[in-house]
Structure 1
Amino acid sequence: MIKRYKWPVLAALSAAMIISSCVTKKYQQPNLNVQTDKLYRDTTINDTTSIATVPVEQLFADTVLQGLIKEGVQNNLDLKTAMQRINEAYATVQQTKAAFFPSLSGNATITRNKQSLAGLNFPPEFANSFILTTTTHQLGLSTSWEADIWGKLSSSKRSALANFFASDAGKRAVQTQLIANIANNYYSLLALDKQLAITEQTLKNRITDVETMKALKESAIVTGAAVVQSEANRYAAEVTIPDLKRSIRETENALSILLARAPGAIKRTSLDEQKPYTDMQVGIPSQLLKNRPDVQQAEFAFRSAFENTNVARTYFYPALTITAQGGVSSLKIKNLFDNSIFYSIVGGLTQPIFSKGENRARLRTAKAQQEQAYYAFQQSVLTAGSEVSNALYAYQTAVEKQTSRAKQLEALQKSVDFTKELLRYSSATNYTDVLTSEQSLLAAQLNSVGDKLQQLQAIVNLYRSLGGGWK
């Protein structure tokens, strides 16, 4: 008997698979409208070596920073939220898998019916011969199963899986951004510390200058204007210190939030102790598709939208549903299991004929969302290439500036020393020259800190833009 029905069953299943493949489409990776080898501006690279594969502990030599990054990865609230999104997506996947199996529910009912005597329309002499009130006891099970003829359930499951992988990629994207934010804020703190130290030392020097100008005035070498100018110069440096301290406190607070701490002081080293990573390999641009979590997330979002379009197509075709119910029923509860079994099995096809344009609107919506996801994927790739290019160029320019800045600082320091000496022993100069040279020196010293900060943060941003930090 089994062999008799084997081939018809297989033929029916094969026909269903063929018909399903005509309704739903197979996913293919979306094409990009830009050549991937052109993503890095003015850069041609054939080496696949990339700092994206470098462990965090190797990229950042500062052990204090390493500890802060580890703490952030363990405690950051955005990262924990991303983990819960993964759990949510996983539950949805389990739900779509369960849709392939029949549902089963149990029920127990007691029904009491009372029939109206007038409604029976019997003569009065027969009224007492009929039972007008009945109580029915019933126990039963019911089940329902929908055959996945057109691939609706399969596409729904693939869409849920794509969303799951997208949420996992999103979590990794949050982690790479978190590491970059911690490192950038840490380096900003070190730079602010350095600028504060420079400014405080400048303030001490200018207080000394004020005393010197007063002494020179008493010796009739300079006028009272020079004394007043030196005092103004002193206060010009002093007034910037509160702003620097405020910036330090705000940066500490911002870093505390990343670490899921209450606002407070951050333990740190100094800017002079930092040794920048120098092997700035970026690999080939096509590696961004595998390394950048946000690019992967965008592609999975497109795949989910693609499968949702498949689901929308299946609504135009009939749905095959099989339902069954059975149990026991009796007018008396003591006889519930005595020859009181009932059952029913129903199989039906439901073909949408007129649904007020709902199915067409659903398909148009799904297609529009798929196009949006496609454009978002393209945008993520272009953004990734731009970020790599910007970070790489920022690193190169920072290194170039440091060489020129060192020479500028040396020249400005000599200018300050020479103008001060000339002010003491010659009438060929005045305090305005000293003032100008001192202000230029302070600005150059603060800018030199900015150059070092730019270099360090460019390394961090390049690491993140290449997709480093999540492996």
Structure 2
Amino acid sequence: MNNIKIYLAGITALIFSVIEGCKVPAIVNHEVNTRPPAAFEAAMADTQSSAVIKWQDFFEDPFLLKLVDTALRNNRELLSTLQEIEIARNDIRVKKGALLPGVMAKVGSGIEKVGRYTSQGAGDASTDIAPGKEVPDILADHELGLYASWEADIWKKLRNDKQAAVDRYLATVEGKNFVVTNLIAEIADTYYELLGLDNQLAIVKESIRLQKNGLEIVKVQKEAARATELAVKKFEAEVLNSQAREYEIFQQIKEGENKINFLLGRNPQPIERSSGEFLTALPRQVSSGIPSQLLANRPDIRQAELVLAAAKLDVKVARAAFYPTLDISASLGLQAFKPSYLAKLPESVLFSLAGELAGPLINKNAIKAEFASADARQQQALYEYEKTILNAVREVSNELSNISNLEQKYQLKNNEVNALARSITVSNELYKAARADYLEVLMTQRDALESQLELVETREQQFSAVTHIYRALGGGWK
């Protein structure tokens, strides 16, 4: 009777535990603001986005395509990211295993001698066994059996935990895609920078040649008393300044090549490229698509969305900890104190089946704290998701404006270069006719050199802007 009362008291406590568990804080579904501003939607009015174009088709330079292909096979950051995917995939297997019964096989042997003046020893001594079949003092124990345990997922805790692992796995895949997108853009960016530096180097070398010619003319004029030593030194200083700039460009080229080699996962070596048609080549036209395509194409947005989904499931898992858990265990096997007795059935058979319902009753502070932390992580993931969207909108808006402004800037710079090229001829003729001094000639040459270098830099910025908008739209990973 007393056992029945204790059993009923335990059931009553569990019922109250369930009722108490129903009083946990409700899960709050926070609203996500994903709508871009109206001005941005108007700017992105194309029906097709360039982000859907494969990188092999988007970039036309065969040398650049070869570099990107090598990087996608050897880049160390990308290879490290692939291991993160493998870790996340294994985590799914761990979570999936928790849903299934755990079954273990057990084979064991041992010996035991209990004290005579113990409950077990006294019981063995008083056992009425036929002569010659008494229980030995040193008792062996041989066992062969299967043991199983299973937690019934009545509150979907384990299933939500597994789905959260799936979402995190998918998030790591999107993270890998984002690494691919950035890797391709960084290689293309540096490659175009090298092409620009090659052209700048050619301009500086040509400028040095012209300046040396001018220096020789001034030296001749000095001998004819038509120029002074000051003019000679000024022309000489200008040549030295251009030669110093030449070595500065050499260093920038070396650093650019080493950067690409690093991204390709290899030691420093020359980068094969074609720079001859850099100024005459036109940057690719880009279609921005519509805002919904931006959300679908950008891997970092998709990654943040999946992390948010996993965080929401974590809240549900933490909430389920307030409720009782149902554990079922079972065993089946053979056990005897002599190996020969294991074959005697059914005397040596052992089996068990038990169910256990347990839940938190007192001191739930740890569970409440974990639930509060899970909810805070959910809000944190939501803010990160919104921040990622805001950043994507900002990048696309910046690059769309940049492409338009760089096109206007290039046209103006090109006109400036043409005007200064004519002014060099005019200044040389005026100097020979003694109608302009050497400072005007030097300043004209310096301005012409700067404008040519800026024109090349603007063209490089145009190619980089196209690469940046391709990355900002989410292109490159497909």
- TM-score normalised according to structure 1 size: 0.89
Deviation at 1:117, TM superposition (A): 4.6
Deviation at 1:244, TM superposition (A): 0.9
Query: Aligned pair in 2 of structure 1 residues 278, 254: CA closer, same or farther (>3 Å)?
Result: closer
4+ long deviations beyond 4 Å: 20-28, 117-122
Distance 2:27 2:270 in 1: 55
Q: In terms of mean alpha carbon deviation, does 139-148 or 43-52 score higher?
A: 43-52
Query: Any idea what the Cα deviations from partners look like across 1:333-387, whole Å, max 9, x if unmatched?
Result: 1222213011111101111123461101110110111111000000110111111
Deviation at 1:34, TM superposition (A): 5.6
1:432 corresponding residue in structure 2? 439
2:62 corresponding residue in structure 1? 63
Q: Does 1:195 align with 2:200?
A: yes
Q: Does 1:300 align with 2:299?
A: no
Corresponding residue SS for 2:104: strand
1:269 corresponding residue in structure 2? 274
Deviation at 1:325, TM superposition (A): 1.6
Aligned mate of 1:311, from 307, 310, 317: 317
Q: Does 1:97 align with 2:96?
A: yes
Aligned mate of 1:405, from 413, 419, 423: 413
Deviation at 1:276, TM superposition (A): 3.5
Q: Which runs of 5+ in 1 are unaligned?
A: 1-19
Distance 1:337 1:38 in 2: 82
Counterpart code for 2:93: Q
Distance 1:141 1:296 in 2: 45
Distance 2:24 2:367 in 1: 14
2:448 corresponding residue in structure 1? 441
1:73 corresponding residue in structure 2? 72
Query: Aligned pair in 2 of structure 1 residues 32, 308: CA closer, same or farther (>3 Å)?
Result: closer
Deviation at 1:147, TM superposition (A): 0.8
Distance 2:225 2:31 in 1: 81
Counterpart code for 2:462: Q
- TM-score normalised according to structure 2 size: 0.88
Query: Aligned pair in 2 of structure 1 residues 159, 218: CA closer, same or farther (>3 Å)?
Result: same
Q: Count how many residue pairs are aligned between Structure 1 and Structure 2.
A: 446
Q: Does 1:185 align with 2:163?
A: no
Counterpart code for 2:468: N
Counterpart code for 1:87: E
Counterpart code for 1:270: S
Corresponding residue SS for 1:99: helix
Deviation at 1:211, TM superposition (A): 1.0
Query: Any idea what the Cα deviations from partners look like across 1:138-168, whole Å, max 9, x if unmatched?
Result: 1121110111111101111110111111111
1:40 corresponding residue in structure 2? 40
1:53 corresponding residue in structure 2? 52
Q: In terms of mean alpha carbon deviation, does 339-348 or 277-286 score higher?
A: 277-286
C-alpha contact 1:139 1:328 (8 A) present in aligned 2? yes
Query: Aligned pair in 2 of structure 1 residues 44, 392: CA closer, same or farther (>3 Å)?
Result: closer
C-alpha contact 2:261 2:267 (8 A) present in aligned 1? yes
C-alpha contact 2:139 2:337 (8 A) present in aligned 1? yes
Query: Aligned pair in 2 of structure 1 residues 227, 187: CA closer, same or farther (>3 Å)?
Result: same
Aligned mate of 1:280, from 265, 286, 299: 286
Deviation at 1:207, TM superposition (A): 1.5
Deviation at 1:174, TM superposition (A): 0.9
Corresponding residue SS for 1:202: helix
1:455 corresponding residue in structure 2? 462
Deviation at 1:131, TM superposition (A): 3.7
Distance 2:469 2:270 in 1: 28
Give matches, 1:216-295, under 5 Å.
Answer: 216-270=221-275, 272-273=277-278, 275-295=281-301
Q: Does 1:148 align with 2:157?
A: no
2:392 corresponding residue in structure 1? 384
Corresponding residue SS for 1:336: helix
C-alpha contact 2:34 2:389 (8 A) present in aligned 1? no
Query: Any idea what the Cα deviations from partners look like across 1:378-398, whole Å, max 9, x if unmatched?
Result: 011011111111111121111
Deviation at 1:230, TM superposition (A): 0.4
Corresponding residue SS for 1:402: helix
Distance 2:22 2:204 in 1: 72
Deviation at 1:438, TM superposition (A): 1.2
Query: Any idea what the Cα deviations from partners look like across 1:194-231, whole Å, max 9, x if unmatched?
Result: 11111111111111221111011111111111001001
C-alpha contact 1:221 1:424 (8 A) present in aligned 2? no
1:15 corresponding residue in structure 2? none
Q: In terms of mean alpha carbon deviation, does 227-236 or 79-88 score higher?
A: 79-88
Q: What is the percent sequence identity of the aligned residues?
A: 33
C-alpha contact 2:283 2:462 (8 A) present in aligned 1? no
Counterpart code for 1:307: L
Q: Does 1:419 align with 2:427?
A: yes
Give matches, 1:367-382, under 5 Å.
Answer: 367-382=375-390
C-alpha contact 1:196 1:244 (8 A) present in aligned 2? yes
Distance 1:337 1:71 in 2: 66
Query: Any idea what the Cα deviations from partners look like across 1:171-213, whole Å, max 9, x if unmatched?
Result: 1111111111111111011111111111111111111221111
Deviation at 1:57, TM superposition (A): 3.0
C-alpha contact 1:163 1:300 (8 A) present in aligned 2? yes
Q: Does 1:207 align with 2:225?
A: no
Corresponding residue SS for 1:272: coil
Distance 1:254 1:232 in 2: 33
Distance 1:47 1:233 in 2: 51
CA RMSD of aligned residues (A): 2.6
2:10 corresponding residue in structure 1? none
Deviation at 1:112, TM superposition (A): 1.2
